[in-house]
Every structure is written in C-alpha cells, then in structure tokens.
Amino acid sequence: MSKEITYTTEIRLPPSQLVSVDANIKGSPCQEILRLACDKAARDHRGVVSQTYRDNRGQVHHCLLAVETSDFPQGIGLQLQRDGRITFCYDAYAGDKEVAEAICRQIRQTYVTITLLRSLQQVGFDLEASEKDISSLDRVIVISGKKWSGEKVSIVVGKQEEVNIDFTGYPGESCSRDETAVRRALEAQDLRIEVRERKEKREDPLAAWNNTHEVRIRCDE
C-alpha cells in the first residue's frame, strides 16, 4: 500500500514557544529550527545572522533574527507576530528584490525540511537529503528514507515550500499510521495542517487510485 500526500506550509510558532528576542532561543524548538534555517541561508549567501536589518536610508531596525548577506547586505529581518506568525521584512529599495525574496524562500524551505526530517526520524526512518538547483536563485530539496522493515518515503520540498510525500511499501493499513504520526509531529511544530485530499493506492497492480483527501498546510509570508 502507498499514499501520496501534498502539503503547503506556513511558519507559525506555537504560543507556548513565543519568546522574546533576548530569550534563549534553544529553549524553544521551533525557534531553534528557525535559527538553523537562517544559519544555512547565511552560509549559502556568504553572510551572517544578526538581530537587525537596515533600510535604504541606513536606519537600523531590530527583529527576532536577521540575515545579512553579500548579495543583500542591508539584511532581511524576521519579525515574530503576537499570533506566532513569522513575517519577513526588508527594504526593496536597499538591494535586489529578487535576491531578497529568494533568501526568504530558502529560509522557509529549510525550516520545513528540518521539521520534516525530525518528524520522520520519530517514526523510525533513516533519511538522506540533497538539494537540486532549478534556477540561479532557487532549489528543491529531495529527501529519501527507509525503515529497517522495508517501508520507504520519498519527499520533494519545492521552492514555494510545497511538500510532496510518497509513502510506499507498507503492509495493510500501517501506512495510515505513519502518515498520521508524521502529521501530528508537524502539527507539534505548528505548521497549520489542513486536510483536503489524499491519493491512496494499493500495491496490487490491478488496484486503481482512490482519491480520499490531500493534506495541505497554508504558507503566508
């Protein structure tokens, strides 16, 4: 039996993990993941992570986290809203807007990827992840995983943080159990999962696709 699931994503920190800029970010798992995502964007763009960004007039703005890079030196700020939403702030006149948008996408994409990796590890998958460039600014992330008992998972995280997951090689209804466990782990990261449609098929070559519902997680900037 196998299931193919599609997600879209939103970063929204759980109320229990809303901490101030000066608090210990590692005491909040979601904010720890966010910091890791910013660290990766900074490394890839030859930059640093800070807590300020600047506008076109040089005015400094304080924020939860910021990424200053060689290709967007004024920086991109991440602000934490009262409802837990993360918003990205930058002055479009301070540099190349396309570069800034690509950095924002990468941070969201990496956040979702780390969350998926941790969630799948919780249900027993050994995982490998790789990146594939699809343009000079964007990439997709490909994740493959396998359990010792033979079940497999294949995942693609797109540039708009959409996630396609294919669980394969499952006996009986155990696929639903793992899918549910992963979904609950993602919900624990407050990715705002909303179930819409799932495509389901059995390994029997004569079996047809059975459209039931697909999982989506909304992503707002």
Round to whole Å and give the CA distance between 48 and 53. 11
Architecture of domain 2-11+109-217: 2-Layer Sandwich (3.30)
CB 89 within 8 A of CB 109: no
Give the residue carrying structure tokens 């697909």.
214
What residues does each domain of the chain span?
Answer: 2-11+109-217, 15-106
Round to whole Å and give the CA distance between 53 and 74. 6
Q: Write the pLDDT tens digit of every residue in 192-206.
A: 554 444 455 444 443
Average pLDDT, the chain: 76
The pLDDT of residue 22 is 44
Higher per-residue pLDDT: 189 or 155: 155
The pLDDT of residue 45 is 93
The pLDDT of residue 72 is 93
Q: Which amino acid is at 121?
A: Q
Strand partners, 85: 12
CA nearest 100: which of 118, 82, 88? Answer: 88
Round to whole Å and give the CA distance between 76 and 89. 6
Is the pLDDT at 89 greater than 70? The verdict is: yes
Helix axes 174-188, 97-122, angle to 10 degrees: 130
Length of the chain: 221
> Is 42 in a helix, a strand, or coil?
helix
Round to whole Å and give the CA distance between 64 and 54. 14
Mean pLDDT of 81-109: 86
Higher per-residue pLDDT: 200 or 119: 119
Residue 215 — very low, low, confident or very high, per pLDDT cuts 50/70/90?
very low
Give the residue carrying structure tokens 């699809």.
134
Mean pLDDT of 99-122: 89
Q: Record the tokens describing residue 219, joined without a space.
A: 């992503």
